[in-house]
Structure 1
Amino acid sequence: MRLLHTTTGEFYEFDDEKLEEVRYAVLSHMYAWNKEPELSYKAFRIIQEDHRYYSASPAPLSPTTTDAHFSLPSSHATHSWSSAIYSSSSTPFLGSTGVLDDPRVSPKIREACRIARTDNCDYIWVNTCCINDDSTLESTEAIHATFRRFSKASICYAYLADVPDPVDDSPIRSSGSPFYYSRWFNRAWTLQELIAPKHLMFVSRNWARLGTKDDLAEVISDITGIDEDILTHRKHYSDASVARRMYWASRRRATRVEDEAYSLMGLFGVTMQPMYGEGHQAFFRLQQEILMRTQDQSLFAWGTRSPPLQSPPADADPNSPCARFPPFHDAQDSTLFARSTSDFANSRAIGRMSHDSDLGFNLGQQYVFTPYGLRTQLPLIPLRSLLDRSAAKPADLASLHVAILTCGLTFDGARHFVALLLSYDQEPSPFGINVLIPKVLRGSGPSGPECPHIRLITISQCLLHSQAIRQSMRTQTAHLSSPNYVSESIVTVKTTMASLSQRSYKRLQDRGYAVEDENIGSLWFPLRRLCLSKGDVVFEVEYGSTRHGEEAAVQLIVKKCPPPGRELVSRVAPLVEPGSTHWVHSWRLTEFHLKDTLILSFGLECLPTSRSYFLNVVETAVDEV
């Protein structure tokens, strides 16, 4: 970890495993709120080198300014600072007495160092200047380590550039205050920067101290929806369900859509390779990684819930409804995984529950991704068992079931489970596999306009304990599929496993490649391995068929590839590396730049008459493109 010395303005390297021995601060901030560029690592190194060249030893800092009298420079001065950084002239400022006094150093970094010194921190971490963005490895490492680095810091300063200094003790706790509406609370990355540090100080535009996270826990909880006990570290953040943690992020956004997923890795204790350009696929990958690390099924508890279904009174008419249920007239296909954190906007109250302690059985949840969907065991109840006889029902009600998830919420002191609405796939599956598709009930109100689509059914624990419901409940091994997926992820495939085309096999051999294409999967998880080798080039991938909607696709996971050359690093992004995931479609080529002069292009050929799919691979020299 690279830290900036708060007095000398020099960089120092520390082992991440020994950060407990270092007293350092971290800065949490918003990018370029005033349209000015941030000071990069490269620009800061130029300033440091200039001072080393013109001074044998660093001069002491000039006297610091107190909190009460400090103010940001005028727009003219700020413009001069920006111009100085990016000026073609490298002439140093000979009048400066130290690195941090150099006018080319941004006011944000200078003041962050000053306030850290007042709190006896010799070092500070500022992501803009402490990370070399030219290094893909360093940037990736920083993304993975941010949560840990913030949690080990002695103090974190949250710089709210859009919050002025308090005037006459003006209440920042009020719902109409600038603090309450700061953009800092809407930024994706600042969620982990809020939760991870034990000690966090909010500072204003002019670096006046506004209060600590502990002091302001009540108002911060009101702004963010995060429990006060979690903000103050009286409870661990992992005590909150997956759905509730997703809710915390549901109103936060990032400049790049992928960062909405990458910024949550630390909060869920997962790691995955950042691949900018993948769009919403990043959030699908995040959910799949979370599922592999936890049995918390609240990951599926997103979207609109039904009113609670409860047991009718003992003296009620047998035909009376369990609860007032919105009228609906049909069921539409849904998806298993959410498209973004915003889908969890209604999941604040969702907490963990147990089949074992609350329903009397334990399934020992396991999840396996297969081409037929996510394979797991679920307790299923026919939807018609839960509704009254007079309720409006869609035509395919017989195929609709609910899967009781291990999560729920409390209404009026009573515990309620959340259930996922599912329907058996009407197309026959091979080998007797049960494929279930998530559904939503599309309803309409009395005056005609559509009501929100109901994806989740809320069922009281008492109702689930009733004899009639228990008799209709069945535990099944099922494959949860998503036929209308809006992005590339785990979906149903009911066709032949894709394999390398004979034409490509022969063409690659003619170009001097040794070609191996073999089946390494099983009945439940078809998978193939393709290895291409020629000279010092070895390219090995594992691949499997998948589908979204009516379109087929192939997922490739790179196992071996040549290390990228210097020219390739500067020219191609993202780079191909072991562990990276890629997708091949019938309507585009997926290119792998393996050498400065070598490209392998993968395409997918579909034969509708035989319902077969073949990989086509072509070697292309860069000078042929």
Structure 2
Amino acid sequence: MWLINTDTRLLEEFYDDEIPKYAILSHTWQEKGEVSFQQWQSGDYQELPGFTKIDRCCQIAKDMGYDYVWVDTCCIDKSSSAELQEAINSMFKWYEASEVCLVYFADVIAGEDHKLPESKFRKSRWFTRGWTLQELLAPMKLLLFDKDWIPFGQVGISWKVPEFRVPYFERIISSITGIPDTTFGESHLDGGNSSIAQKMSWAANRTTKRSEDMAYCLLGIFDINMPLLYGEGGKRAFARLQEEIIKMSDDESIFAWHFESIPNCSVFLGFTQPGLWKRGFS
């Protein structure tokens, strides 16, 4: 596991029991300008738009007393298929093991009433992406930041630092996502009591840039480890995910899909995306 040293800003690699305490970043990727592993290693990144986000994350983590931080854009060597596969299969556990998850909302402004239906927070892109679902569910503690890195909310945290005494957001996030508020933060393990159909429904309105990732982003949520085969297509990837879930669980709610949504109901494992479980499992 690669981590950024919040003091030196250098990447350091750790294995298993060597891994120190770390903060972790949750965010949505920009179309261009995110900093890759190779760019961070070479130092050729300070002019990239994504650098500011990582730099602020490192500084806040350092101020909170953490020597290391993990950021998905630059802490995975995506040129190595083996490393990418290990990272995606481990990612839920990495978020779960973090001391705190710093959630950056690039489209949320300071001072608004986040409870209002028209608030930018409720309409944030962060709630529409496939990968951010596990980033919401896995961490024990989350601290929410607006576009200017001002903290405005927390999940599962009781901060002793005055500037981080911000409101709890479990209920607001639950109203946005339809996920029970007992599933977040320090009580997130209650999610283990949720059915497969419920968990699938949580991903129903989310999307990923690559079709296969709609299956791969759910691996940790279902505690599944399987090979990544980019190029197989989203339908095949999702079918493989279901096959693995069926092997590991006797929860029959996986078959409780919305019948009218399936174009060819004679084909078993023809459920090609989480939206087929979206009705009746809130």
TM-score, normalisation: structure 1: 0.41
- Looking at structure 2, the residues matched to 16 and 194 of structure 1 have their Cα atoms a distance apart, in angstroms, of 24
- Looking at structure 2, the residues matched to 153 and 275 of structure 1 have their Cα atoms a distance apart, in angstroms, of 28
Query: Which residue number in structure 2 is paired with residue 343 of structure 1?
Result: 276
Q: Equivalent residues in 2 for 1:64-83 (5 A)?
A: 81-82=47-48
Instruction: Report percent identity of matched pairs.
Output: 35
Query: Which residue number in structure 1 is paired with residue 88 of structure 2?
Result: 143
Query: Which residue number in structure 1 is paired with residue 56 of structure 2?
Result: 111
Kindly state the Cα deviation for residue 249 of structure 1 after the two structures are TM-superposed.
Answer: 0.6
1:157 aligns with 2:102: yes
The structure having more radius of gyration, on CA atoms, is 1
- Looking at structure 1, the residues matched to 123 and 273 of structure 2 have their Cα atoms a distance apart, in angstroms, of 23
Kindly state the Cα deviation for residue 334 of structure 1 after the two structures are TM-superposed.
Answer: 3.6
Instruction: Give the direction of change, closer, same or farther, for the CA distance of 1:302–1:117 in structure 2 (3 Å limit).
Output: same
Could you report, residue by residue, the CA deviation over 1:376-432 in whole angstroms, capped at 9, with x for unpaired residues? xxxxxxxxxxxxxxxxxxxxxxxxxxxxxxxxxxxxxxxxxxxxxxxxxxxxxxxxx
Query: Which residue number in structure 2 is paired with residue 125 of structure 1?
Result: 70
Kindly state the Cα deviation for residue 37 of structure 1 after the two structures are TM-superposed.
Answer: 1.5
- Looking at structure 1, the residues matched to 268 and 155 of structure 2 have their Cα atoms a distance apart, in angstroms, of 36
Query: Which residue number in structure 1 is paired with residue 204 of structure 2?
Result: 250
Equivalent in 194, 215, 218 of residue 240 of structure 1 = 194
Check the 8 A contact 1:300/1:336 in 2, yes or no: no
Richer in strand (by share): 1
Equivalent in 28, 32, 37 of residue 36 of structure 1 = 32
Query: Which residue number in structure 1 is paired with residue 4 of structure 2?
Result: 4
- Looking at structure 1, the residues matched to 212 and 280 of structure 2 have their Cα atoms a distance apart, in angstroms, of 22
1:129 counterpart SS class: coil
Query: Which residue number in structure 1 is paired with residue 147 of structure 2?
Result: 205
Q: Equivalent residues in 2 for 1:51-450 (5 A)?
A: 81-82=47-48, 106-166=51-111, 170-214=112-156, 215-234=168-187, 235-279=189-233, 280-304=235-259, 333-337=265-269, 338-349=271-282
Q: Which amino acid aligns with 1:340?
A: Q
Q: Which amino acid aligns with 1:26?
A: I
Check the 8 A contact 1:44/1:105 in 2, yes or no: no
Check the 8 A contact 1:163/1:204 in 2, yes or no: yes
- Looking at structure 1, the residues matched to 265 and 35 of structure 2 have their Cα atoms a distance apart, in angstroms, of 49
Check the 8 A contact 2:107/2:125 in 1, yes or no: yes
- Looking at structure 2, the residues matched to 205 and 16 of structure 1 have their Cα atoms a distance apart, in angstroms, of 34
1:46 aligns with 2:1: no
Q: Unaligned 5+ residue runs, structure 2? A: 157-167
Dislocated runs of 4+, deviation >6 Å? none
RMSD: 1.9
- Looking at structure 1, the residues matched to 114 and 211 of structure 2 have their Cα atoms a distance apart, in angstroms, of 31
Richer in helix (by share): 2
Could you report, residue by residue, the CA deviation over 1:57-112 in whole angstroms, capped at 9, with x for unpaired residues? xxxxxxxxxxxxxxxxxxxxxxx924xxxxxxxxxxxxxxxxxxxxx971011111
Q: Equivalent residues in 2 for 1:538-553 (5 A)?
A: none
Q: Unaligned 5+ residue runs, structure 1? A: 51-79, 83-103, 306-331, 350-625
Q: Indicate the structure whose relative CO is greater, using CA pairs within 8 Å and at least 6 residues apart.
A: 2
